[in-house]
Amino acid sequence: MKNKLFRISFQRRKIIAGYLFCLPFLIGFALFFFYSFMQTLIFSFNELQLTPIGYELTFVGWSNYSYALNVHPSFPMDLAAEIGNLAVNVPLILAFSFFTAIILNQKFFGRLLARVIFFLPVILGAGIIFRLEQTDMITQLSLGAAKPGLVFSGTALQNLLLSTRLPEQFLQFIIDAVERIPLIVRASGIQILIFLAGLQSIPSSVYEAADVEGATAWESFWLITFPMLSPLILTAVVYTIIDSFTSADNELVSMIRSTAFTSQGFGVSTAMAVLYFIVIAAVLGLVLQVVSKWVYYQE
Amino acid sequence: MKGKSFVIGVLRAVFIIGVAYIILQPLLTKLSSSFMTISDMFDQTVKWLPRTFTLQHYKDAWGFMNYPIAFRNTFSLTLAVSILQLASCTLVGYGLGRFKFKGGKIIFAMVIFTLIVPPQMLMVPMYLNFRYFDIYGLLPPPGLNLLNSVWPFILISITGVGLRNGLFIYIMRQFFRGMPKDLEDAAYVDGAGLLRTFLTIMLPSAVPGLVIVFLFAFVWQWNDYFYTTLFMGGQGKFLTHALDNIAVKAVEGRTDLLRTHYSSLISNTGMILFILPLLILFALMQRYFIESIERTGIIG
């Protein structure tokens, strides 16, 4: 009887503790995030005029939205292009970082150095350096004048591929994929880190047990490594999508930002931001639905 | 069997060296050009090693960036912000990862929600909010002006809604969630309270996650241009602003033909100065990181 009472109160305490641990975020969400988010929604239906003592709103209905979708020269097309780009990049980034993490988890000479180098893009790929490089003379010269931004633009590979007489679309896809390599590598640093930390957390006893049972390396990969890493695959997918949608290098994000300070004004900019947000939420919701189905948790 | 592992070793080496080249090439280009004179830049025979070695660009870039002051401002803000974000995001991640309570799923959905909203979307409300900060009318109008102070950064960091904090909460939640339940139960059976279990059992096992989150928070705050501009104004107090202006400052008052070359050299040198502290931190953390992930591998 006494034991049962203790258990109930312990469960109660656990529930209260759960809320307490989350409290900082709840405050931040209510005070800073949600408040600003609602204001953005309100602004998107208004025309905002800055005055010396604050700002004034004039209700304009849906006109900001219809401007963004129907009148703006490039917004709908840029949005579609962004999604297409994402559909190609996300699988490539995930496959590359997963593969790389497995390699960096093996024992070989110079592993520490290799790890240090592979995580460098986390620092080097960050916003301002990337932005300055786009217009920097030395960077562009060093990459070859023919196709700035691409390391693998050499014609040797293209000639080799064209001589194989495979269908042209297929070759174009290969060439495109190869040209994306530097971008993929640069965008993968964090995903490699996530996967590597996950690999390290799988106890070696599990592999030893599988080995004793006669499992091949292939089997233990698909039956141990893959399911054990699946929560982190979800993390990496979510991260990759969000990173490419919200990074400051993103052309759409900078367009939304610059629209705020041009003649079209802040109303149109917020309307674009809201539309963009809806697209992000839809893509992410879809991916979460699909991927969470086969995520395995140790519970 | 031996031949097979040799082939794998060679393929691995080719892969690693190839990717390492892609990653290091831009960095090495910057580094080598930062020591070059302008005439070396034109000289087709000069490839990586400068013929006339010079430190002049470092002296110039140092001055243009006002490096000591910009470094001090950036470093202190970044350190404070990343420690606060680490603390708040670990707490929330633990709450979401290890406790089952009504609304937990909703709170997690809220975390994801903060993540998928580009910060640029909340730009103007945030600005106005901190310009006339009154905590929903608790303070008399016009409220406090928190702009040009560190308060906006501190407030959004301790409450876990700063730059990409949703991701940090998510990472910590996944880490705590992936831990075996036996670990926690053993502590409870031994009579440890909830807080003590968290501090002495769960937290030390989550060190890889903590290191990752701290490193990310630090790197992103260091590179942050958006929030420092929004809350502090673009007054060149931080390294990002200093680096952004360096090319303009380098050509100020110059009309000669070589001014664009000079500004590119200075800009590349500035980028080296900008990332050098991050590289040092990274080198230090890397060792610790490798050690810590291997240690938990054994405990696991």
Cβ under 8 Å to B: A residues 146-165: 151
In a domain, residue B47? The reply is no
The b-or-e profile of A267-297 (16+ CB within 10 A means b, else e) is bbbbbbbbbbbeebeebbeebbeeeeeebee
Other CB atoms within 10 Å distance of the CB of residue B270:
30
Chain A residue with Cα closest to B174: A231
SS3 A48: strand
Residue contact B111–A25, C-beta within 8 A: yes
Determine the Cα–Cα distance for residues A9 and A82; give it in Å rounded to an integer.
Answer: 52
Chain centroid, CA A48 distance in Å: 32
When divided into structural domains, chain B yields a total of 1
The predicted structure's pLDDT at residue B77: 94
Q: Would you place residue A147 in the very low, low, confident or very high pLDDT band (cuts 50, 70, 90)?
A: very low
Return the residue of A nearest to B218 by Cα: A123
Instruction: Provide the domain limits for residue B191.
Output: 52-299
| pLDDT per residue as tens digits for the range A49-103 | 777 666 778 888 898 898 888 888 888 888 888 888 888 889 899 999 999 999 9
Among candidates B161, B178, B279 on the partner chain, residue whose Cβ is nearest the Cβ of A33: B161
Q: Residue A197 is which amino acid?
A: A
Name the residue facing A25 among B24, B116, B160 (closest C-beta): B160
Which residues on neighbouring strands pair with residue A58, listed in sequence order? A47
Of residues B22 and B287, more confidence is placed in B22
What is the 8-class DSSP label of residue B53? -
B16 touching A (Cβ < 8 Å): yes
Number of neighbouring beta carbons within 10 Å of residue B43: 14
Is B20's CB within 8 Å of A117's CB?
Answer: yes
Supply angle C-alpha A112, A117, A121, rounded to 5: 140
Distance CA A48, CA A55 (A): 7
Q: Is residue B29 part of a domain?
A: no
Mean pLDDT calculated for residue range A141-146: 56
Dist CA B57 CA A127 (whole Å): 23
Angle, CA A53 vertex, CA B133 and CA A261 arms, to 5°: 90
DSSP of B118-145? -GGGGHHHHHHHHHTB-TTTTSPTT-B-
Q: How far apart are CA A218 and CA B160, in angstroms?
A: 41
Residue B289: exposure state from Cβ atoms within 10 A (0-12, 13-18, ≥19): buried
Among B102, B264, B275, the residue with its CB nearest the CB of A138 is B264
Residue B12's alpha-carbon distances to A210, B9, B23, B211, B266, in angstroms, are 25, 5, 16, 28, 38
Using left for φ > 0, alpha for ψ between -120 and 50, and beta otherwise, residue B236 falls in: left
- Report yes or no: B273 and A162 within 8 Å, Cβ to Cβ: no
- Convert the pLDDT of each residue in A1-35 to its tens digit: 445 555 567 788 888 999 999 999 999 999 999 99
Q: Spell out which residues of chain A touch residue B40, defining contact as CB-CB under 8 Å.
A: none
Residue B17 counted as domain residue: no
| Best B94, B121, B215 residue to mutate vs chain A (most A CBs within 10 Å) | B121
Cβ within 8 Å of A, B 56-85: none
Token readout for B132 is 């006339």
Flag whether residue A258 sits within 8 Å of chain B, measured between CB atoms: no
**Cβ(B120)–Cβ(A127) under 8 Å?**
no
| Residue A31 contacts B, CB cutoff 8 Å | yes
| Angle made by CA atoms A236, A239, A243, in degrees to the nearest 5 | 140
What's the gap in Å between the CA of A163 and the closest CA on chain B?
24
Specify if B36 maps to a domain: no
Contact between residue B110 and residue A29 where contact means Cβ atoms under 8 Å apart: yes
Inside any domain, residue B21: no
In a domain, B142, yes or no: yes
One-letter amino acid of B92? V
CB contact under 8 A, B225 and A127: yes
Phi, psi at B35, each rounded to 5°: -100, 0
- Confirm or reject contact between A239 and chain B (CB < 8 A): yes
**Which residues are CB-contacts of B239 (< 8 A; sequence separation ≥ 6)?**
B65, B70, B71, B73, B74, B222, B274
Enumerate residues 271 to 290 of chain B having a beta carbon within 8 A of any beta carbon in chain A: 271, 274-275, 278-279, 282-283, 286, 290
Q: So what's the ipTM on this one?
A: 0.86
C-beta atoms surrounding A23 within 10 Å: 16
CA distance A77 to A87: 16
Tokens linked to B295:
């240690």
The residue type at A59: F
- pLDDT above 70: residue A156: no
Rounded-to-integer distance, Cα A14 and Cα A297, Å: 21
Instruction: State how far Cα A105 lies from the chain centre.
Output: 23
Count contacts between A and B (CB, < 8 Å): 278
CA dist B92 and B113 (Å) reads 15
Q: Which of A19, A33, A179, A279 to mutate to test the interface with B (most CBs of B within 10 A)?
A: A33
Residues making up chain B, counted from first to last: 300
- B128 CB near a chain A CB, below 8 Å? yes
Optimal mutation site among B5, B7, B19, B280, interface A, most CBs of chain A within 10 A:
B19
Q: Which amino acid is at B21?
A: Y
- Written as six digits, the tokens of B142 are 């016009």
For residue A264, the distance in angstroms to the closest alpha carbon of chain B comes to 16
Name B174's Cβ contacts closer than 8 Å, sequence gap at least 6: A231, A232, A234, A235, B97
Residue B161 is assigned to a structural domain of this protein:
yes
Name the least confident of A149-158, B12-21, B181-190: A149-158
pLDDT tens-place string over residues B84-114: 999 999 999 999 999 989 899 999 999 988 9
Residue identified by tokens 């059992």 is: B201
Restricting to B residues 188-227, those with a Cβ less than 8 Å away from any Cβ of A are: 188, 194-195, 208-209, 212, 215-216, 219-220, 222-226
Percent of chain A with pLDDT over 90: 12
Of A48-62, A141-155, B61-75, B228-242, give the range with the top mean pLDDT: B61-75
Instruction: Tell which residue, A268, A238, A205, has the closest CA to residue A66.
Output: A268
Give the pLDDT confidence of A234-257 residue by residue, as tens digits. 878 888 888 888 776 777 887 887
> How big is the CA angle at B127 (ends B123 and B131), to the nearest 5 degrees?
175
| Pairwise CA distance, residues A13 & A125, whole Å | 45
Residue B146: what are its φ and ψ, rounded to 5°?
-90, 0
> Could you report the per-residue pLDDT of A281-299, keeping only the tens digit for each?
899 889 888 888 877 765 4
Q: Is residue B107 part of a domain?
A: yes
Q: In whole angstroms, give the CA distance from residue A1 to residue A7.
A: 10
CA A151 – CA A149 distance, rounded (Å): 7
Question: In this structure, is the dihedral angle defined by the CA atoms of residues B190, B193, B198 and B200, taken in order, positive or negative?
Answer: negative
Of A39, A151, A299, nearest to B181 by CB-CB distance is A299
Q: Is the dihedral of CA A237, A240, A242, A245 positive or negative?
A: negative
B220-236 pLDDT, tens digit per residue, is 899 888 888 888 876 65
Q: What is the domain-level CATH number for residue B191?
A: 1.10.3720.10
pLDDT at A52: 66
Report the SS3 class of residue A140.
helix
Q: Largest alpha-carbon pair distance within chain A?
A: 82
